Amino acid sequence: MKKFLLICTALACTMTLQAADNTPAELKAKSEKRMEAARKGPRHATGSEKWLPGTIATYFWNYDEQDWNLYETEKRTYFANGLLETQESSSNKTTYTYNERGLESSVTYSFFDGEKYVNSSKSEYGYDSRIDVETEYKSFFWDEEENKWSLNGDDKNVITRNEAGNITKVEQYSSYSGEMTLGEVSEIKYGSDGKATEITNTDTDDNEIELQLKDIVWQNTNGQIFITDYNDLDAEDYFEGANRIKSATATVYDSFKEPVYITAEYPDNKGSYKVQLTYNGKLIYSMDYTVLDSYGSYSSEEYEVDFDYNEETGALTEDGESRYKEAATYDAYGIMTSYMSSSVSDDYSYTREEKNEVTYDSTYGYPTEVISMWLNEEGVWEHNSRKVYSDYKDFSSVAAIESADDAPVQYFNLNGMPVDGNKLAPGIYIRRQGNKATKLIVR
């Protein structure tokens, strides 16, 4: 049974240079930052104040003893701007570095051999000059015989822009046997109004088009269209952030002979959307995704018709339908406080519920304890894990990472290339400071 066009419901949001309708993109970007902060440790939610834990103790629930048992204690250090520098436990250590925009440039992993920490693996990241998307990823392993880092894998995305600065092509390369191989390609054509009219995603392994969008009508777009999922209508690419499709026709070359019609609505300024896909007049997929608050809490309802597809004849046979629901709530620190998912189809059904009980400091309000629980089949909440945050670091005197006021000013031409701001010839440029960008005309 072949699943068709599964739309991603994750709250990930690709950072963009600017948006025609800023509110949804900004809210989703803030939500993503809160969740990323939660993954690396809670921080204060307001203004420029940052309270970052120096110690995190993790416990697991011992069902035999009916008590918490300590799993590990982690020590953390931070740079002067509050960015995480190291995570160190009794078994391993992780070290981070960042570029001038506060994005991770490297992550190094090492393990404790009983006497000292020994290098194990390392990841390095590169980013586009205009938008905060990853354009290069390198992985290394520590060669003990050579006593140096050796390249393990090398992936990159090559972005091409036109004279107006719009992305016209994204090429996805990966290393294989020491050679870079082109895999997926996304090509974008623009109309006279500067908006994309056609997107074609090709798999170069068999030189076949996987997904093609035509007759695109945009809810909003800024021309910085970076495709992350080449063969799916991934929400992150087409229905979230600064580039959101209102309607289009889609040709899915390995599934349907006739076009699939896409319509989308955006009922609020929070990032919510309603998407419907129809084929030969029949609804075959829908997603109703609602953002509940500025913290990223959401609910979603998904409906999908399943098909059996005969690759030789191209014939489609309808094979039932499925419905999926999901909802999650988050606090101001990006910590998930509740989660529910349920799925019903002709073959199976299930429901999953989880929650986190969070204890906050009575004076400052930051989290001190998070207890994770799940609802068992008998309807009883059971303990799962527990984290205790302590030894908080006060970075209240440091300006927030997100603030553009103290960030360095960068200038780019319309091709996305950085230029010297002190030597600008007459023309049009993009002035970027922090996460804010403005158009600059030099006469």
Higher pLDDT: 231 or 158? It is 158
In angstroms, the CA 409 to CA 278 distance is 47
Does residue 104 surpass a pLDDT of 80? yes
- Secondary structure class of 291 (helix, strand, coil): strand
Question: Tens digit of pLDDT for each residue in 381-430?
Answer: 999 999 999 998 876 544 443 444 445 677 766 555 567 777 777 777 66
Per-residue pLDDT tens digits for 201-212: 998 887 888 899
Residue 310 has pLDDT above 50, yes or no: yes
- Predicted pLDDT of residue 194: 94
Q: What is the pLDDT of residues 108-165, one digit of tens each?
A: 999 999 899 999 999 999 999 999 899 999 999 999 999 999 999 999 999 999 999 9
Higher-pLDDT residue of 237 and 407 is 237
pLDDT confidence of residue 399: 40
**DSSP H helices in 7-102:** 22-40
Angle at the Cα of 143 (from 142 to 145), degrees rounded to 5? 145
The one-letter code for the residue type at 181 is T
Which pair of structure tokens corresponds to residue 318? 């309808």
CA distance 200 to 210: 8
In this model, does residue 20 exceed pLDDT 70?
Answer: no
Q: Report d(CA 197, CA 214) in Å as an integer.
A: 6
Q: Which residues contact 191 (CB under 8 A, 6 or more apart)?
A: 197
Among the residue ranges 2-11, 46-55, 365-374, the one predicted with the least confidence is 2-11
User: Is residue 269 scored above 60 in pLDDT?
Assistant: yes
The better pLDDT of the pair 370, 347 is held by 370
Q: What was the pLDDT predicted at 41?
A: 42
Q: Evaluate if residue 378 carries a pLDDT over 90.
A: yes
Q: What's the whole-number average pLDDT of the chain? A: 82
Q: What is the pLDDT of residue 372?
A: 96
- As a residue count, the chain comes to 443
Q: Kindly state the average pLDDT of the residues 72-98.
A: 92
**Alpha carbons 210 and 256: distance in angstroms, whole number:** 11
Q: pLDDT value at position 9? A: 28
Confidence of residue 311 (pLDDT cuts 50, 70, 90): low
